[in-house]
Amino acid sequence: MDEQEPIDVNLLKRMMLGDFSASSSEGMSSSKEIHKSNAQQRKVELDLHFEKLYPTRNDIAPGEKLKLQLEEFSHFLKDFKKKNIRIAYVIVGKGEGVLRAEVKKVLLKNKIHHSDVAEAPYFGNAIKISI
């Protein structure tokens, strides 16, 4: 066997990114374009934790907090439908389950498909909605 030359690190990186693949030579999207399109497909979510929505309004009664959270959820649903978003996540937290129950009532009323999300990163604290 002949003595082997050291591997060019930059060449290896380009190979790993698909610069020399058959698909890149056939006019397919480059890896940079693929990464860009994946970055544009961000996860759509709404965190209904009151502290996240209104960080300076902690002195409000629990019933008022729930009302404000549901108003925010209503605005989110309007945008969801208007922008024709296919999938979104609504973070409701654990608590006593009052917010979760109210959100599910709204979803059922509007005939929007939904399910609880048990896996990471939500671990049961979110509802997945989809059209």
Average model confidence (pLDDT) for the chain?
Answer: 81
Structure tokens at 9: 């690190």
Domains of the chain: residue spans and CATH: 9-40 (no CATH), 45-130 (3.30.1370.110)
Separation of alpha carbons 95 and 76, rounded Å: 21
Which pLDDT score, from 0 to 100, does residue 2 have? 56
Residues in the chain: 131
Which pLDDT score, from 0 to 100, does residue 79 have? 92
Which pLDDT score, from 0 to 100, does residue 13 have? 65
- For tokens 């397919």, what's the residue? 28
Confidence category of residue 16, pLDDT binned at 50, 70, 90 = low
Separation of alpha carbons 39 and 100, rounded Å: 30
pLDDT digits (tens, 9 = 90+) for 61-113: 999 999 999 999 999 999 988 998 999 999 999 989 999 999 999 999 999 99
Which pLDDT score, from 0 to 100, does residue 29 have? 44
- The DSSP annotation for 58-94 comes to TTS-HHHHHHHHHHHHHHHHHHHHHTT-SEEEEE--S
pTM exceeding 0.75:
no
